[in-house]
């Protein structure tokens, strides 16, 4: 298993521990309420922050990651 595959597996497992963000994706994802928003973040990249970034992107935001 490659590192990328392992990372995606870890993210998929962690999504089950973050039901609030998953609910926001389901409810608000199709309407893209953050479309046009540009968000920059300077943070440690963890599985949880990866899920947050993916959620912001699914809600329509353009996310710039500064690692």
* 17-61: pLDDT as tens digits: 999 999 999 999 999 999 999 999 888 889 999 899 999 999 999
Q: Would you say residue 67 has pLDDT above 80?
A: no
Q: What SS3 state is found at 12?
A: helix
Inter-residue contact 39 to 62 (CB < 8 Å):
yes
**Full-model pTM:** 0.83
């Amino acid at each position: 298993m490659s590192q990328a595959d392992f990372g995606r597996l870890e993210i998929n497992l962690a999504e089950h521990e973050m039901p609030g963000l998953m609910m926001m994706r389901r409810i608000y994802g199709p309407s893209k309420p953050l479309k046009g928003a540009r968000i920059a973040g300077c943070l440690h990249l963890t599985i949880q922050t990866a899920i947050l970034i993916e959620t912001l992107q699914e809600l329509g935001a353009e996310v710039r990651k500064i690692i």
